[in-house]
Amino acid sequence: MSAIKIEGRNPISGTVRLSGNKNAILPMIAAAMLSDEEVTLKNVPDILDVRSMLEIFAALGGEFDFANNTLTLCASKAKSYVIPRELCSKNRTSILYAAPLLARFGKATVYPPGGDVIGRRRLDGHIYGLKTLGSRLESEDAYVFEAPSGLHGRELFLDEASVTATEQILMAAVCAKGRTVLYNAACEPHVADLADFLNAMGGRISGQGGNVITVDGVAKLHGCTYTVSGDHIEGGSFLALAAANGGDIKIEGIAPRHFWMTRRVFERLGFKMTLTHDTLIFPGGQVPEVKKDFDGQIPCISDGTWPQYPSDMMSCTIVAATQTRGTVLFFEKMFESRIYFVDKLIAMGANAIVCDPHRVVISGVSDLHGMTLPSPDIRAGMAMVIAASCAKGESTINNIEVIYRGYENLLQKLTSLGVRCREC
């Protein structure tokens, strides 16, 4: 099955429980290489990116058992520090094995990572961090890291608050000799989740969730049991689905602070919601209208580093904006190719002007109609699902395996909310 058909304009209502955070579990799988003891992770989403990271874990000699969203990992028999090229090409986070392999073997060989084509995604922060902590690098066909004298704590300053570079440095520093202080660190929930997981394994990390993180290296990490937090991007995606369709939805398993900025953005689009200690409640029947800025100007919704609006939420939010009355500018600052999917929305009937690779103006309400659509990346693919759900007629969305990389049990969750869809 490589496509889904969606019949649009059916009532949306129901409850969704969040799966575990995709962007937290992927580095956690790599981090399990740091210990010889068994690690158990709960609330793990069964998605293609998780399966890809587990392929690498097994190729390196690690063992795992994955059933009912519980993942048990043991690296005691790991014997290789070379990741096969074809496995590196499957996702972006394959690069995150570099630090654990360096810490374990003093060597690591990885190939350029794959992942979504949404624009340039620098590796400079990874290279800077590993080299500063004591690794050498040879780079021709592959990235060959060596740390013959081990890794040593240092002060580091990232030139951009990169999520994956921060995660790489945390995994390198947790067993390095001495103290590492990382300035301009990424603050995203999944970064904090990784740090908390490493601490559960015996690490000494403090400051996670802020932009200065301190790591006091320890000699050894042990096994643990840890529960992955809910995926706020998945939650925001289903929120956009309900908003675009005038539906009502209850999203369970949230951390309210992860949705503060999401609530502010959706309020600017004219939507209201309620956050409780673990649930987001979005009432149906809303008649949204874009709220102009205080001086009467067209508002701008832009992404940025946490706690600003996540780049991963921009695509789905743009679709929701096509179904709210008024005009709004979206400014995608982080990736120059993420806005390209809007061309398909225009073909569906959206009133949109793509100003440049980073900015698009949306004027609603647009009367969308069904058509055949691609899944250019995980989040744009989900945005196409949302657009199809509120469009007149039937849509076909191709290469859905791209969406399945990041969304667990997607068709079951959509169907439970009233979306009429099927694989074909």
Residue matched to tokens 């490493």: 198
Q: What is the pLDDT of residue 119?
A: 42
Instruction: Based on the fold, state whether residues 368 and 247 are members of the same structural domain.
Output: yes
Of 182, 207, 227, the residue at which a domain comes to its end is 227
- Coil vs helix vs strand at 199: helix
Cross-strand partners of 360 = 330, 354
Co-location of 359 and 245 in the same domain: yes
Do 210 and 259 sit in the same domain of this protein?
no
Does 244 lie in the same domain as 215? no
Last residue of a domain, one of 202, 227, 252: 227
Q: 328 by DSSP, 3-state: which?
A: strand
Q: Which residues touch 70 (CB under 8 Å, ≥6 apart)?
A: 40, 41, 42, 44
Q: How far is CA 47 from CA 69, 225, 363, in A?
A: 10, 21, 35
Type of residue numbered 367: D
Catalytic residue among 46, 65, 116, 356: 116
Full domain range(s) for residue 149 = 22-227
How many structural domains comprise the chain? 2
Same domain, 14 and 30: no
pTM (2 d.p.): 0.96
What tokens were used for 321?
A: 């904006």
Same domain, 219 and 82: yes
Which of 176, 196, 227 represents a domain boundary (last residue)?
227
3-class secondary structure for 235-277?
HHHHHHHHHHHCCEEEEECCCHHHHHHHHHHHHHCCCCCEECC
Same domain, 192 and 329: no
Q: What is the CATH number of the domain that holds 223?
A: 3.65.10.10
Cα(384)–Cα(7) distance, rounded to whole angstroms?
13
For residue 112 the two structure tokens come to: 């350029």
Extended beta strands in 28-106, E state? 39-42, 63-67, 70-74
113 lies in the same domain as 255 = no
Residues contacting residue 92 through CB under 8 Å, at least 6 positions apart: 113, 114, 115, 116, 121, 164
Q: What is the pLDDT at residue 116? A: 47
Domain identity same for 7 and 36: no
pLDDT of residue 118: 43
Annotation marks residue 141 as catalytic: no
- If asked whether residues 69 and 207 sit together in one domain, one would say yes
Q: In this structure, are 246 and 257 located in the same domain?
A: yes
The tokens describing 424, both together, are 């074909």
210 and 287 assigned to the same domain? no
Angle between helices 232-245 and 378-389 (to 10 degrees): 20
Report CA torsion sign: 90, 93, 98, 103.
negative
Collapsing DSSP to helix, strand or coil, 33 comes out as helix
Q: Give me the pLDDT at residue 185, please.
A: 98
Per-residue confidence of the chain (424 residues) as pLDDT tens digits?
A: 589 999 999 999 999 999 999 999 999 999 999 999 999 999 999 999 999 999 999 999 999 999 999 999 999 999 999 999 999 988 889 999 999 999 999 999 999 887 544 444 579 999 999 999 999 999 878 999 999 999 999 999 999 999 999 999 999 999 999 999 999 999 999 999 999 999 999 999 999 999 999 999 999 999 999 999 999 999 999 999 999 999 999 999 999 999 999 999 999 999 999 999 999 999 999 999 999 999 999 999 999 999 999 999 999 999 999 999 999 999 999 877 889 999 999 999 999 999 999 999 999 999 999 999 999 999 999 999 999 999 999 999 999 999 999 999 999 999 999 999 999 9
Handedness of CA 313, 316, 319, 320 (dihedral sign): negative
d(CA 228, CA 253): 11
